[in-house]
Amino acid sequence: MKEYYVIFEWAGNNYSAYVPDLPGCISTGKSLAETEQNIKEAIELYIDTLKEDGQTIPEPSIMAKAVSIAA
């Protein structure tokens, strides 16, 4: 099992999500929960397509951490 980091953003009317380690792997949803489910499906389809095309599946390489600052 691989674990990819996903970036979620509020886009004004909906949420969007993308996976930095998988270029072009994006999704949207009306809620954060819907967007999370949609991006999981998008990742699975992305990887399935790479496998079908005989391409290498990128290894997860992105690391993330929240950094607190006084604002």
The rounded distance, in Å, linking the Cα atoms of 13 and 23 is 24
Residue 48 three-state SS: helix
> What pLDDT does residue 1 have?
86
Q: Are 62 and 20 in contact (CB under 8 A)?
A: yes
> What pLDDT does residue 71 have?
86
**Domain 1-71, what fold?**
Double Stranded RNA Binding Domain (3.30.160)
Tracing tokens 């496998």 back to the chain, one arrives at 51
Domain-by-domain residue ranges, the chain?
1-71
Which two structure tokens, joined as six digits, stand for 47?
A: 């990887």
> What pLDDT does residue 64 have?
92
Low-confidence ranges of the chain (pLDDT < 50): none
Which two structure tokens, joined as six digits, stand for 9?
A: 């953003």
